Amino acid sequence: MPEVHLTINGRSYPVACKEGEEARLKELALYIDRKTAEFVRQHGQIGEARLLVLATLVIADELAEAQAALHPQVPPAAQGNGIDTAALAQGLDELAQRIETIAVRLETHHIA
């Protein structure tokens, strides 16, 4: 199984992959590296774990927006599906807090 070394925020990460996936993984790592570089310019070196969490959240948001554009939501008048948006928002807030706690724990233990 091939292994590629991906550089993100100046740090190399060895990643195993299937044959032929090397170039795509390098492209993805370059995209992540650019996102972390944006946060370094804005906030300085705030810790590798936090930079990666921020980059991941921004990329997840971009993905969610792209998915929403491909699959527009049902208009509010037609919903009636029982989704509790307040509970959903609270769940997302709790998830964000857990991610922040994990980032701090990773930085504290120097596992990044």
Burial of 35 (0-12, 13-18, 19+ CB in 10 A): buried
pLDDT tens for 22-63 read 999 999 999 999 999 999 999 888 888 888 888 888 888 888
Between the alpha carbon of residue 26 and those of residues 2, 3, 21, 52, the distances in Å are 13, 11, 9, 16
pLDDT tens for 50-101 read 888 888 888 888 888 888 888 776 555 445 556 666 666 677 767 777 776 6
| Structural domain total, the chain | 1
The residue segments making up the domain with residue 26 are 3-108
Number of H helices, E strands in the chain: 3, 2
Between the alpha carbon of residue 71 and those of residues 74, 103, 109, the distances in Å are 9, 32, 41
| Predicted TM-score (pTM) above 0.75 | no
